[in-house]
Structure formats: structure tokens, C-alpha cells
Structure 1
Amino acid sequence: MSKQPTIREISAGLGEQDAARVKRVLDGGIRIPAQPRVLNELRKLIARQELDVRPLARTINQDPGLTAMLFKVVGNAAYRKHQPFDSVEQILHAVGVEQTCNLIQAIALRNVGMASDKRVYEAFWARSQAVGELAMLIADERVAVCNLFPDQAYLAGIFHACGVPLLLQRFPSYCRELRLGTPGHWTNWQEEDRKFNTDHAVVGYLIARHWCLPDFICNAIRYQHSMLELGDHEARSMVAILQLAIELHARDQRVPNSDWDLAKPQVLPELGLSEDALPEFVDVVLERYGATAAV
């Protein structure tokens, strides 16, 4: 895990138009949420190339809420071959240190309090959690094709919409104009752009970079709605996983997903799926997802 970049360094990695959008958000007095102390301590231990997982486990166990959520996440069917887990040390050994830290980084986002509207924020978190868990399962099923792993997909799934709470803070009319209080309704990035001259993908990229997520995950967040702009970039497969996870969440909730028809022609070949194979694949993933939710 690398040194936390400054806002100037992050913005320098954006195009001129995106950098202007980020400036518009930050000029409103919004601060990018800081990472919890536990993550900073884990980074220091990993930087020392600590081979003993005990100090890592002690650091994680300092935050009971984070620890409890870690056990819930590794209860996902994507980790079925390692279950059951009896301790954080066992998770670190079985899942891997870097992989466990990816999961913790995703879990920690929930506790930073980015939105003042509790009801909308809880809906945001429930959706992000569901997309993250579905992304884990898709990655687990397609690992031979995509060479992406459940912890990476979960991290991308949790962070993919993390720009929304900051936009809620920055623009008082954001929730009303995008109808986020309507059950089953979710923000539309094109509508965000028209009304606020920015969108949650650009702001999410800023947060992901600030939290030192891997570059390909940051780029997947930025280009989650514009996969064609990535060309042959390594983030393409992660965008495909995110788009399919969002579609499966919409199907599970029985709500429309306006992006899917446009995304599907790029997503399916990237994941090595055909139109004919998709229904069976969807059934397998949703069945595994339902089994995890029932635990």
C-alpha cells in the first residue's frame, strides 16, 4: 500500500474537464473523508513486510465493528472453501494479508459518515454492499477469464458509487432532483452531469485515489459508465464485473437498470459469456448470493 496522495496529485491524473469537475465539488467546502486509524496502522505494518499475522490481527481487532463486518464479508460464498473462520488470524492466513486488507478498506468506507441524510445513506450502503457481494461472486466464477479476485471485486463494488454521498453534501438539491428518496430509484450519471456539471464516477475516482486503491480499480470506478473509453486498459474486466453486478442487483430488487442494454455488448465478451450462456450464469450467481444472504 502506497503513501496517501494529495488532492493536487490526484487531480493531476485527471483530464482537464474531470479536474474542473473535481474542483467544482471541492470548492464547496467538501473534504475527502480520511481513512480510519486502523487502515493507517495496517499500512505501516505491511510496509515493514511483517510476516507474522498476529500484530495485523491485533490491529484489526481494535475496531470491533470493522472486525464483525469482516467476518460477515468472508461468509460470502466466494470464500466457501475456507469457511468457517474462527479468528482474524485465520482469515489473514486463508484469504491472504493483502486480500484481507482490501476487504477491510472496503468495509471502512461505511464508517466515515459522508452523508447527513441517514435514510438515504443507509440505502446507499445497502446497495453498495449488495453490488460488492455480487461482484465478489462474479469474480469468483470468472477468475480464469478475468484474472480478478473476490477481494478486488468487492473493493470496487463498495467504492463504485462512493461519490454519491459527497455530492449529497455538496449540492443541497441533489437528493430531491435525482429522486434518491424514491424506493428502488438510483442516481443517473448523465442526469448528474446535466444538472450539477459533475458525476459520482469522477468524484468516486477522487476518493478511491485518496484512499490509495489500486490504479486499475480507481480507473474502473472512473470509467464504470464509459467502458469503451478504456480501450484495452486492464480496468476493462473490472468495469464489466461492476456492470454485471449492478444488473444482477437490479434483477434481484426487480427494478429497471437503464444502463444495461448499452453496457451488455461490451460486458459479455469481456467476461467470456455469450448471450445464450447469460441466463444460466445469472441463475448460478443469484442462487449463491441468496444462499449467502440467508446465512
Structure 2
Amino acid sequence: MPIETEKAIKQLVIKGIKLPPQPKVLIALDAALSSGNYSMKTLAKVISTDPGITAMLFKIVGSPVFGNKKFDSLEQVLMLVGVKQTYNLVQAICLSTHISDSTRKSFEIFWTRSDEIAKLAALIAGERVSVCNIFPDQAYMAGIFHECGVPVLMLRFPEYCSTLNLDTNLCGPSLSLEDKHFNVDHCSIGYLIARHWKLPDFICKSILYHYELPREEPGVVRTLVAILQLAIHFHHRISHSENPVWRQIGAEVLEELGIASDGEQAYYEEISEHFLA
């Protein structure tokens, strides 16, 4: 990691904020891929050492996001979905199973919402791939990680949810309130977790900037942020809840993704139909 990233992580440690380490299955999978000496059978064996991750992987790849395909083995998943794409999905699954407190309902609500937004983002990326060149597995990973700093703060500060009024509505915590009360924000923490877990740079930056459409970053970052914001917006619509951020950047998001302003409703109906299938 760059020196500035290491310094930032050390500052978090001083504040008592711990970033989640990569689980053993992910470290082993990364080592196998880095060696270049692997087969589908050996990779499948590594993944299968964690039954929970294996079960969630089959659930995701068998969903509408990946065409409702039926997979009979992990080797088949690796061959048909792709090694890199499967690795990305395993990373996303690992995160949601390693930052949580099973005794707190708020974590369950948070990860359910993150998974739903990730699936919406993957559907949008799949439909827009020829325009945006972002693939479903990349969008899914960004969706799971985009607010992963929130559960870290929930673990560190017991009063976090009540202070930010998130006890019943775990979405879009205020960055200004986080900074005021805790002198840190979940976007920066999420970015550092992504760097710590060695995610692609454009995904790390999309997590850092997911509340805005950064003009200074490469186009791929701006496009991925747009996909995330549209997924969040559609999730609000499906949940019948207000999304104040959309009023500020909605027009730019649609333009970035090549969707006409008067075509939003039809596009929403298309994506939500697949999501709810």
C-alpha cells in the first residue's frame, strides 16, 4: 500500500478503529492466483473450505444478476462466470461475513440493504456494459463495499446509529455529522478497507467518492459512481423512501450512463422487474 494509506490506517488504529483483516480463504485464494500455478479444481478446493461463503456464492451466481443459471459445482462456476469475476464475488461475500455483530439487528438491516444495492448495481452494469465498460461483478463488489465504513463505525462507537438517527433507516449517513461527532467519515474508512483488501484502484476511489460524481478522476471512476448512485436511487424507489441526493446529481448520473432524462421511468421498470423476479 502507498505510504499515505499506511499512515491513515495507523491514525485509525490510534482512534481505536480497526479495519477488518482479510479472511483466510481470501488470502489462500489470492496466493493461488498470484502463483499462476492453479487449476479450477484447486481454486474450487480453496473456496470450499468456507461453507458459508460457498453457499452465498452459489446463491449470487444463480440469481437474475447472472441470468438465473444453474451451477452444479464450484469448478463450473469458475469456468462459466470466470476466475477473476468469481474472485471479485468472493471478496464481496467475505466482507459482509467478517464485519458484523450477529447480536445486533442493525447489522442485518445494513448488510441486507448493501446486498440489494449491489445486485441492482450489477444489473445496471450488465445492461449498460457496452456503454460503460463496467462488468456486473465489479459493480456488485463496489455495491457491497460502498458503505462498508458504516459497520466499522457501528462496532467502534455504540452510539453511532442513535447519533446519526440510523436505528431504523440505515442509509446515507451524514458525512458532516460523522465528522462532527466522531472526527471521521465512513467514505474514507471504506476507501481504506478497500485498499487494505487490495481492490482495484477505480473501485477504491468509487467508494471514496460515492456521494458525488468526481470530475478530476478517470472516467471509469465517475461511471462506477454513477452506477452506484442509480442503484441507490432505484433501491429508494423500490423501498418507497426519499432520496435527497438524487435531486442534486440525478441528471448528471443519467447523462453519464447514456440514459435520456425522460427514459428514467422505463429504465427503472426494466431493472426493478429483473431485481424482483
TM-score by structure 2 length? 0.93
Query: Is the CA contact (8 Å cut-off) linking 2:102 and 2:108 kept in structure 1?
Result: no
Tell me the residue number matched to 1:29: 16
**In structure 1, which of residues 66, 79, 98 is the aligned counterpart of residue 84 of structure 2?**
98
Cα drift, residue 228 of structure 1: 3.1
Tell me the residue number matched to 1:124: 110
Task: List alignment gaps of at least 5 residues for structure 1.
Answer: 13-18
**Deviation larger for 139-148 or 258-267:** 258-267
Tell me the residue number matched to 2:64: 77
**Deviation larger for 176-185 or 281-290:** 176-185
SS of 1:259 mapped into structure 2: helix
Query: Is the CA contact (8 Å cut-off) linking 1:25 and 1:167 kept in structure 2?
Result: no
Percent identical across equivalent pairs?
45
Tell me the residue number matched to 1:171: 157
Write the mapping of 1:1-295 to structure 2, written as runs, cut at 5 A: 5=1, 8-11=3-6, 19=8, 25-80=12-67, 83-115=69-101, 118-183=104-169, 186-291=172-277
Residues 196-223 of structure 1: CA distance to partner in whole angstroms, max 9, x if unpaired? 3322111100100001100000000001
Amino acid at match of 1:189: L
- Following TM superposition, the consecutive aligned residue runs of length 4 or more in structure 1 with deviations greater than 6 angstroms are none
Task: List alignment gaps of at least 5 residues for structure 2.
Answer: none
Residues 46-73 of structure 1: CA distance to partner in whole angstroms, max 9, x if unpaired? 0122352000001111111100000111
Cα drift, residue 11 of structure 1: 4.7
Residues 99-134 of structure 1: CA distance to partner in whole angstroms, max 9, x if unpaired? 100000000012213457621111110110001100
Query: Is the CA contact (8 Å cut-off) linking 1:33 and 1:114 kept in structure 2?
Result: no
Residues 230-276 of structure 1: CA distance to partner in whole angstroms, max 9, x if unpaired? 45442111000000011111111111111111121221111011111
Query: Is the CA contact (8 Å cut-off) linking 1:66 and 1:104 kept in structure 2?
Result: yes
Cα drift, residue 224 of structure 1: 0.6
Query: Is the CA contact (8 Å cut-off) linking 2:251 and 2:261 kept in structure 1?
Result: no
**Deviation larger for 98-107 or 248-257:** 248-257
TM-score by structure 1 length? 0.88
Amino acid at match of 1:37: K
SS of 1:142 mapped into structure 2: helix
Query: Is the CA contact (8 Å cut-off) linking 1:77 and 1:288 kept in structure 2?
Result: yes
**Relative contact order, higher structure (CA 8 A, sep 6+):** 1
| Separation of aligned partners in 2, 1:91 and 1:171 | 39
SS of 1:235 mapped into structure 2: helix
Amino acid at match of 1:68: A
Residues 22-50 of structure 1: CA distance to partner in whole angstroms, max 9, x if unpaired? 66643222221111111111111101223
Query: Is the CA contact (8 Å cut-off) linking 1:146 and 1:271 kept in structure 2?
Result: yes
Give the paired residue count: 277
